[in-house]
Amino acid sequence: MNLVTVLPIVIPLVTAIVSLFAWRSLRVQRWISLAGAAGLLGSAVALLVAVRAGGIQATQIGDWPAPYGITFVADHLTATMVLLAGIIGMAVVPYSCASVDREQEEAAYHPLLHVLLMGVCGAFLTGDLFNLYVWFEVMLISSFVLMGLGGRRPQLEGALKYVALNLIASFIFLVSVGLLYAAVGTLNMADLATRVPDLDRGIATSLAMSFLVAFGVKAAVFPLFFWLPASYHTQPAAVAAIFAGLLTKVGVYAMFRVFTLVFVLRDVGATQTLLLVLSMLTMVTGVLGAVAQNELRRLLSFHIISQIGYMVVALALFTPLSIAAGVFFVAHNTLAKSTLFLVSGVVERRRGTYDLDRLGGTYRESPWLALLFALPALALAGIPPLSGFVAKLEIVQAGLEADAYIAVATALAVSLLTLFSMSKIWNAVFWQPPPASEPPPRRPPAGERWLMECPTAVMAAFTVVVGLAAGPLFGWTQAAADELLGPFGPSGYVERVLGEQR
Amino acid sequence: MNLILPFVVGALVAAGLYMMMRRSSIKLLIGFALLSHGANLLVFSAGGLVRGGAPLIEQGESLPPAAHADPLPQALVLTAMVISFGVLAFAIALVLRTYRETKTDDVDKMTTTER
Amino acid sequence: MKSLILQTATRYLFPLLVLYSVFLLVRGHHEPGGGFIGGLMAAAPIALCALAYDVDVARNLLPLRPIRLLALGLATAAGVSIGALFMGRPLLTGSWVELPMPGGGVLDLGTPLLFDLGIYLVVLGVVTQIIFSLATKSPLHWERDES
């Protein structure tokens, strides 16, 4: 029995239910939602403390012993991801109170947001592949509804594309799970880790490839990313921030988990090489797409894809150092990316547009806002001492150690292009004078400014803090990498899950 | 039965994918329905087919009867069916709403998100 | 569409279908059946009424708005599963009591039945919500509660 491993799921669930009961009062719903987000953040911190103190935590749901029941497991990687989900949730809830259309917010926005957070945390915590599928679906269904809520033409069209592509990915995931069960006879990840090595190499490789496709769509890896820039930018900034920060990272997390625990990447044929090539292509196409865009959020959406490439390259290098760097990069990117989307929402509230040609002069109007943009933007490009610098430095170092010089060169070149496209936003939104035809900017009321800019500022501050405290934080991600890929492999995880009833 | 099922799964998936690749959004829905049936059937057959052997342990025994059906794939299929039911219901509502908003069911004409 | 045959048949089928849905719910205790299929079966007569009469008639047949049924069901199911935590056991662990029955038998009553009841309400709520919103002008537009 281990309370901390289930609280990150129970708290959002209870929040969603209670706020459904407060259906008629938006005010009450907002307070419940805020309390729920704070609770989630608290439980994430508690989980982290427990993992730091006592190693991997596991609990058997329904008291059914593993591998027959569903196990919830938390190691360093899980705890980090849950903490990120908690931070994003805490930032987005107050932000959305001020920025989401009232009509949309009344249409079950807050319950759905917490169901989404529950799905995300469930996917991070579960130790069972089929259960992972279920959490993916929980997350997807709530994200579908959140996307469709706006009900205007671009949102509906974006939602339709998002739904169609993700349904195909879910189908591939489900089929892979079924075939894996037929081949091995278990779906508990720890149990799989002990049994997959005995599997025929050909079967193992083809199964690993089909999981790669399924997670590749969710994580928006080249060439499976088309749904992302077609749908993310149609959302209200708050929703886009949570999608950009968390949803694709769940796909990345699933890759990290499955390819270190179930199919050890270097053992399944050409998958590692394929992943390495795909990750480089992801970086390049993402950033080239971004450079070509002229709409603020579409540009940022393409950047998500490019950054996913860095995380996947870290996984594909498959050394303890690169995995640690990858986990660090995921953390840095989740924070920086969400912040950028939050800033884009603040800009839109003032100007009423996301079109780069129609924006301008924001620096003169609000230097403070310019700073909030500059911090995560420079962090994304990898300028010291911000968080992205350390993340990229470690990935480059891991690449050099693994003699993957092409990957290192690609990563560095893409960094340069990232800086270029960020400076494009900077020029267009902050420095250039606004076109004369544009109406004067709206001055948002003080309450709205507080609700929107405080969470954004805290998130922006994180990019500095993560950069400055990189030493201890990197030690922590190294602990995560050791659990995944340490000298004893995943045996700690396996023992913790299966050992209890032995 | 063990020989027929793969063909049925293959036919369902092929038909589903064909429908999904048409331009009409209604056909997308039909395709998705067929596709999820195919996936469910595949997971169902993953445990191997056993006729008439319920995986119940008789009183006084410690093991289920020798030829028993594997209950886990059936539980998985039930869950997957519930999920695909929910997703399909939502997708129908979404397609209907999109149709009323855009006055077309041709996916190729839904291009406002590409600009 | 107003068909006298369908309307008359609905009047007779309605109680039967509701009863059958309850039967399925309780049967799920030990045999095939349960909350999900029971809830679907409970939504069937509502859908039938929406077809035979109109959506408003069907809406008034429900004791609560769909969204409230959904909330109530979720609360029941979640309450049962979280309740296990307070008894010091993992999430979703079932608890059972054995009640001796007047005929000499023993009735096993467990929290899974309560959990199923929650699922029954959730499914009923979701399905009727979907039916009503598909029947109205703008699906996906959640109806605001006016009750």
Chain C contact present for A458, CB below 8 A: no
Q: In the structure, what pLDDT confidence band is assigned to residue A487 with cuts at 50, 70 and 90? A: low
Looking at the predicted structure, is the pLDDT value of residue A267 above 80?
no
Number of H helices and E strands in chain C, helices first, is 5, 2
Mean pLDDT of all residues in C2-8: 86
Domain ranges of chain C: 4-135
Q: What is the spatial distance between Cα A338 and Cα A84, in angstroms, rounded to a whole number?
A: 11
Q: What is the spatial distance between Cα A363 and Cα A427, in angstroms, rounded to a whole number?
A: 10
- CA-CA distances (angstroms) from residue C121 to A298, A306, C38, C74, C117? 41, 44, 9, 8, 6
CA end-to-end distance (rounded Å), chain A = 16
Amino acid residing at A289? G
- CA-CA distances (angstroms) from residue A465 to A310, A327, A380, A387? 21, 17, 14, 8
Note down the domain range covering B10. Answer: 4-50+71-114
Between CA C7 and CA C15, with CA C12 as vertex, the angle to 5 degrees is 120
Q: In the structure, what pLDDT confidence band is assigned to residue A214 with cuts at 50, 70 and 90? A: very high
Question: What does the pLDDT read at residue A144?
Answer: 87
Question: What does the pLDDT read at residue A351?
Answer: 80
Looking at the predicted structure, is the pLDDT value of residue B31 above 80?
yes
Q: Is B61 domain-assigned?
A: no
Q: Is B83 domain-assigned?
A: yes
Task: Please judge whether B93 and C139 are an interchain contact, meaning their C-beta atoms are less than 8 angstroms apart.
Answer: yes
- Using a CB-CB distance cutoff of 8 angstroms, which residues of chain B are in contact with residue A140? 87
Residue of C nearest to A58 (CA): C90
Domain tally, chain B: 1
- Using a CB-CB distance cutoff of 8 angstroms, which residues of chain B are in contact with residue C126? 86, 89
Chain-wide mean pLDDT for chain A?
Answer: 87
Q: Name the DSSP class of B66.
A: S
Q: How far is CA A174 from the centre of its chain?
A: 22
Q: What's the half-sphere exposure (Cβ side, CA atoms, 13 Å) at A140?
A: 28
Task: Please judge whether C133 and B82 are an interchain contact, meaning their C-beta atoms are less than 8 angstroms apart.
Answer: no
- Helix, strand, coil tally for chain C in percent (to 5): 65, 5, 30
Q: Name the DSSP class of B48.
A: -
| From B78, B86, B94, residue closest to C140, measured CB to CB | B94
Question: What does the pLDDT read at residue A500?
Answer: 53
Question: What does the pLDDT read at residue B1?
Answer: 66
Looking at the predicted structure, is the pLDDT value of residue A150 above 60?
yes
> Which residues, numbered 98 to 127 in chain C, qualify as contacts with chain B under a Cβ-Cβ cut-off of 8 Å?
126-127
Q: What's the half-sphere exposure (Cβ side, CA atoms, 13 Å) at C125?
A: 21
Name the token pair of A445: 């009321």
Amino acid residing at C144? R
CATH for B104:
1.10.287.3510
Chain B contact present for A168, CB below 8 A: yes
Domain ranges of chain A: 3-490
Looking at the predicted structure, is the pLDDT value of residue A16 above 80?
yes
Per residue in A174-209, pLDDT (tens digit) is 999 999 998 888 888 888 888 888 888 888 888 999
C27 contacts C54 by C-beta, under 8 angstroms: no
Mean pLDDT of all residues in B77-106: 85
Name the token pair of B31: 């395709």
Task: Please judge whether C134 and B86 are an interchain contact, meaning their C-beta atoms are less than 8 angstroms apart.
Answer: no
Task: Please judge whether C144 and A106 are an interchain contact, meaning their C-beta atoms are less than 8 angstroms apart.
Answer: yes
